[in-house]
Amino acid sequence: MDLVLVTGAGASHNLGREDKPLPLMPEWSDELCSALDAAESRLAHRCRLAPGMSSVEFETALGELLRWEAMKYLNPAFANLTDEPGHFQQLDGQATARLGTIRRVIDDTLYAQFGQERVDEARATKAYELLLERFAVGRLVLATTNYDRSCEVALSKLGRQSDAGFRAQDSESLERLEVANLVEKAREEHKTACLHLHGAVGWYQKDGVVYDYKGRHAFNQTLGSPVVLYPDPEKDPTSDQYVAALWDEFRVALSLTDRVLVLGHSLHDPVLVQELRAAKPKRLAVAFYTDTAPDSQAAQRAHIEQQLPGAIQIGMDFGPQFGADPEALHAFMDEPQLSVAE
C-alpha cells in the first residue's frame, strides 16, 4: 500500500458547490440550532446547544444529549426514587416526545448539510487529482470520518474505482454493505477502498441490513435508520456493528502501509489518534491549513505535536488550487521518520 489517506471535515470544506463551503462542525451547529428553534421555541437551549459553539463544545453537548437518550430507557425503573413517581413519568414522557423531534431535526440537517447535492464534483476531482499527483500515490486506501461522499465521487472520476463495501445481490437489488475483507478485496480488484469510519449520508439500516441510497436526497426515515456516528468526543465505534467492522478494516490498511497522511482532521478524536499511535507507521504526516493567522497555525502545530508526537507537519491548502510546503513534503516522501511515540 503506497498510502493510507485519513480525511476529516477540513478536507471537504473547500469542495462545496457555488463557492459555498461544506460546513465544519461549528457551522453545522449553527444550522442545527436554527432548525431546532424553528421546530419549537428555545428547543436548542433545552438541548444545551447554542449558536457560536466551538467544535469541541458542540460535539460535547450533542454527544451528552445522545448518550443520555441511549440510557433513558432506564428512567421508569427508578421513578420510585422520586417523591412523585407518577409526575416523574409524565415529565419523562414529555422528554421522550421532544427527543423524537430532536432526532428528526438532527438527521434532516445532517443530510441537508453533507448530502451529495452540496458537493461540487469538479472541484473535488481536481483537488484529489493534484494531491495524488503531488504525493505520487499508486495504491491507496482512503479512510474518512466525514459524512459526505466527495472522496468516492472524486476517485471514481479519476479512474480509481472506489469500493465502500456495498454489493448488489443481482442487477435489480439495492447494494448492501458487506465489510468483511474489504481492503484485501479492493487490492485484488485494483480498486480504492473507501472506509467511512463514521458512516455516511445515504446509508440506511433496515431489518439488520445496511443499504446505500447514495446520499443525493433529503433524509427519509421510511428507508430505515441512518448509519452514522454522531458528533461526540467520547464516541464509541463499536456501538454500531457495521462501523466497528470498518474500523477493523482500517487497522488492516494501517498494517499494510508505511505511509499515512492525515488531512483536514482536528485530531479531537481519541479513538482515531489511538489507532494511529498503535500502528506506528514509518512515515506519518499531518496536514494543517496555512490560510490562517500565525497564532492559529502555531496552535495547530502544538496540538498535532501533542496528539501525534514526531509526526511530520505539512502546511497545506487542499482544494482545486492545491499547495503544500515543499520541504515538509520532501521529508514525508523521501526521508525515514522515527515511529510515532506511544
Give 86-137 pLDDT, tens digit per residue: 898 898 999 999 999 999 999 999 999 999 999 999 999 999 999 999 998 9
DSSP letters of 229-277? --S-TT--GGGSHHHHHHHHHHHHHHHT-SEEEEES-----HHHHHHHH
The lowest-confidence range among 23-27, 88-92, 219-223 is 88-92
Put residue 21 in one of left, alpha, beta given phi > 0 → left and psi -120 to 50 → alpha: beta
CATH fold of the domain at 3-18+119-334:
Rossmann fold (3.40.50)
Is residue 265 a contact partner of residue 5, using CB atoms and an 8 Å limit?
A: no
Is residue 8 a contact partner of residue 286, using CB atoms and an 8 Å limit?
A: no
Give 37-46 pLDDT, tens digit per residue: 999 999 999 9
Average pLDDT over residues 58-71: 95
Look at residue 338 in the predicted model and tell me its pLDDT. 47
Reported pTM: 0.92
Angle in degrees, CA 139, 114, 182, rounded to 5: 30
Query: Domain locations in the chain?
Result: 3-18+119-334, 24-117
Distances 294 to 121, 309, 318 between C-alpha atoms, Å? 32, 21, 18
Put residue 63 in one of left, alpha, beta given phi > 0 → left and psi -120 to 50 → alpha: alpha
* Residue 35 neighbours by CB under 8 Å, 6+ apart: 105, 108, 109
Q: Please count the other Cβ atoms lying within 10 Å of the Cβ belonging to residue 241.
A: 11
Q: Give the pairing of strands 176-177 and 166-167.
A: antiparallel
